[in-house]
Structure 1
Amino acid sequence: MSKTQFQALVSTITSSIAGRAVDDDLKAFLAAQFPPEGETFKAIEAACHQGVAEGWMCDKEHGGIRYGRVIEATPDLAGYSVDVVLMKDLAGPHHRHPEGEIDMVMPITPTARFDGSPKGWVVYGPDSAHRPTVSEGESLVLYLLPGGKIDFTRNK
C-alpha cells in the first residue's frame, strides 16, 4: 500500500462529501454510504493497519499517542487533509476545529470507544472543540479536516 493508493481509497469518501456541510446530516450520510461493515470502510481500515505496520503512517509519537498527517489538504481530496492516530485509553490534546472534523473510528480492541462512540463515524461541526479520548482499549482514528485546519489549545 502506497500513499498514492491510500489517497485513492480515501478519495472515494471525500469525493462523495465534497460541498456538504460538516454536521449531523453528514454523519448520517457517511453511516449509510460507508458503514463499518462495508467494502470501502474495511479497505481503508486494512490500509491504515498496513500503513502503521510499514511505518509510513502514525510515524510520530508523543504522550503515548502515535500520529501523523498522512496527506495534506488537496483538491484531489475535495480540500480535506488526512491524519491518522493510534491511541489506547487516553485523552489527546485539546483542539478546535475551525471548519469541522470528520472521524473514522476503527477500534483495534472491539470494545474501544472514541469520544464514547464505537466503530463508525463521528462528525464535529465548525468551531467545535474537544480532547479526543479513546477509552476501553485501543483504536485507530482517521481524521478528515476541511482545509487541513486544526487549532491546538495551550494548557488544556
Structure 2
Amino acid sequence: MSPQAFQRLIAGVTTQLADRPLDGQLAVWLNDTWPADGETFRELAAACRTGVAEGWLCNREGGGIRYGRIFKALPDTHGFSVDVVAMNNIAGPHHVHPHGEIDLIMPLTEGATFDGHPAGWCVYGPGSAHRPTVANGDALVLYLLPQGAIEFTAA
C-alpha cells in the first residue's frame, strides 16, 4: 500500500458519497453497503494500519493523539479531505463540522468505540460538534470532511 494506492481506494468510496446529504440515512447506507465485516472495510482498515506502520498516516502527535491529514479536499477524492487519527482511551479537541463529517471506526482493541460507536461508519451532519472520544482501547478513525472544513473550538 502506498499513499497513491490509498487515495485510489478512498476515491472508490467518495465517488459514491458526492452530493449525498450527511445525515443518519447516509450512516445506515454506509454500514449496509460497506459493513465492518465486509471486504471494503477490511481493505480500508488494512491500508490505514499499513500507513500508520510505515509513517505516512498519523505522522503527527499532540495531546496523546496521533493524527494527520493525508489528503486535502481534492477532485480525486470528490471534495473530501482525508484524515486518520490513532487514539487510545482519550477525548480529542472539541470541534465543529461546518459541512458534516463521515467517520470510519476501526478498533485495534476488540470492543473499542468511537463516540460510543463500534466498528463501522458514523455520520455527523452539517453544523454538528463533538469532542471525539475513543473508549475501551485503541482505535483508528478515518475522517472524511466535505471541503476539508473543520473548526476547532474552546468548548
> TM-score, normalised to structure 1's length?
0.98
1:117 is matched with 117
For the residue of structure 1 that corresponds to 2:16, the secondary structure is helix
Instruction: Tell me the alpha carbon deviations over residues 31-77 of structure 1, each in whole angstroms, 9 at most, x when there is no partner.
Output: 11111111111101000000000011000000110000011101111
* Structure 2: gaps (5+ residues): none
Instruction: Tell me the alpha carbon deviations over residues 59-97 of structure 1, each in whole angstroms, 9 at most, x when there is no partner.
Output: 000011000001110111110000000000010000000
Structure 1 distance, partners of 2:114, 2:51, is: 20
1:95 is matched with 95
> TM-score, normalised to structure 2's length?
0.98
Structure 2 distance, partners of 1:36, 1:105, is: 9
Matched, 1:150 2:146: no
Measured on the aligned residues, the alpha-carbon RMSD in Å equals: 0.6
* Structure 1: gaps (5+ residues): none
Matched, 1:108 2:108: yes
Structure 2 distance, partners of 1:151, 1:97, is: 7
Matched, 1:129 2:144: no
2:11 is matched with 11
1:63 is matched with 63
Q: How many residues align?
A: 155
Instruction: Tell me the alpha carbon deviations over residues 105-137 of structure 1, each in whole angstroms, 9 at most, x when there is no partner.
Output: 000001101000100011000000000000010
Moved more, 31-40 or 99-108: 31-40
Runs of 4+ in 1 over 3 A off after TM superposition: none
2:38 is matched with 38
Matched, 1:25 2:28: no
The one-letter amino acid paired with 1:135 is A
